[in-house]
Amino acid sequence: MDSITHALTGAVIARAIDNEKIGKWGTVAGLAMGLFPDSDFILGLFNHQFSIQYHRDFTHSILLIPFYSLFFSWLFVKISKRPYFWNFYKVCLPVLMSHVLLDLLTSYGTMIFSPFFDHRFAWDLIFVIDLIFSGVILLPLLASLFLKRGARWICRGSLIGLTVYILFCWVQHGQALGEIRGFSKGLAGKVIQIAALPQPASPFRWALYVETEDNIFQGFVDLRREDLPEPASPQAPFFERLASLYYPSGSIPFHSMEKLPDSPWVKKALTTKGMKFYYWFARFPVVKSINSEEGRHRVEFMDARFFLPGIRLPFVYFVEFDDSGQIRSEGFAEDRKRL
């Protein structure tokens, strides 16, 4: 979930609690605690790979959150000059937990049991930027600032509204998974995993994935759509190109991507430390391209989870060898473009 929505959610939770002993400092604490776990973005200023490795790591650990809550409650007591430690704790703890919960709803992956386990959990229900979700938070929060007498219940109503919306997305997710199961029944190979990932701009749009031993299959569905999409040119506006990806239920074309083409350079790339890290991060890794020219052999990998054809292709990792098999260069392609 985006950081602004996290901060607003923290403020709504604090105002729903509405502890008179700490007053407006409760809202301040809610805003700050909503933002705190995303302070790990600073890691990206030093190294992209370092940021990917530790984003949503120790600052998002449910094992460490009680200790963060103790520290920040003590800090707010010192800053506010209000000696109500446990009142601040009643705000800090639920807000920090809400941050982790909201991130779990997305498909990026959150290491909630850090530092003991580095598995990335994801519930795949809500896109990282969801304007409906943010609106359910923002509008009641603004109303609570002007209607102070009923502020607590307005914010509680907002949280109930969020719960209803999440349940709605859960139902849509189940329908999207049904589309995948129908497609996967016709595949000859063994199905390793399936997934339906939320998409931007609509809770009815989902990216569908089936992984077999040799291939990744990707399709896009709009559960509310009835007609086939019109093709969009590369020069078309963003939302027009985005809408052209999604097909109605029962009419979804699945694109097949070979996971590991038979190439000695692919096999060599897979043994490198960088690729072992990438395969830890990526959920649906495939070879994007293999190029050999002028004594250089470059293999590029992508995570199909983030792939929107003709629109977006982030997190591309490459390894480049010379003829002797020595690594000449490796890293994320996005970093190279910035140089």
Residue 31, in any domain of the structure: yes
Last residue of one domain, picked from the residues 87, 105, 123: 123
Residues 283 and 310 in one domain: yes
Containing structural domain, residue 54: 3-123
pLDDT of res. 255 = 95
Residues 15 and 50 in one domain: yes
Residue 33 parent element (H or E) = helix 24-35
Task: Give phi and psi for 150, each to the nearest 5.
Answer: -105, 20
Structure tokens at 16: 């729903």
pLDDT digits (tens, 9 = 90+) for 272-312: 999 999 999 999 999 999 999 988 999 999 999 999 998 98
Residues 236 and 275 in one domain: no
Residue 157, in any domain of the structure: no
Residues 62 and 12 in one domain: yes
Q: For residues 41 and 88, which has the higher predicted lDDT (pLDDT)?
A: 88
Contacts for 292 with CB less than 8 Å, ≥ 6 apart = 265, 298
Residue 146, in any domain of the structure: no
Residues 187 and 231 in one domain: yes
pLDDT digits (tens, 9 = 90+) for 115-172: 999 999 999 999 999 999 999 999 999 998 888 788 899 999 999 999 999 999 999 9
pLDDT of res. 45 = 66
Last residue of one domain, picked from the residues 235, 257, 279: 257
Global pTM reads 0.90
Residues 215 and 235 in one domain: yes
Structure confidence at residue 338 as a pLDDT band (50, 70, 90): very low
Burial of 78 (0-12, 13-18, 19+ CB in 10 A): exposed
Please give the Cα distance from 204 to 276 (Å, whole number): 35
Residues 23 and 108 in one domain: yes
How far is residue 167 from each of residues 100, 179, 313, measured CA to CA in Å? 17, 19, 30
Order of all β-strands in the sheet with 215-222: 191-198, 205-212, 215-222, 255-258
Residue 320 has pLDDT above 50, yes or no: yes
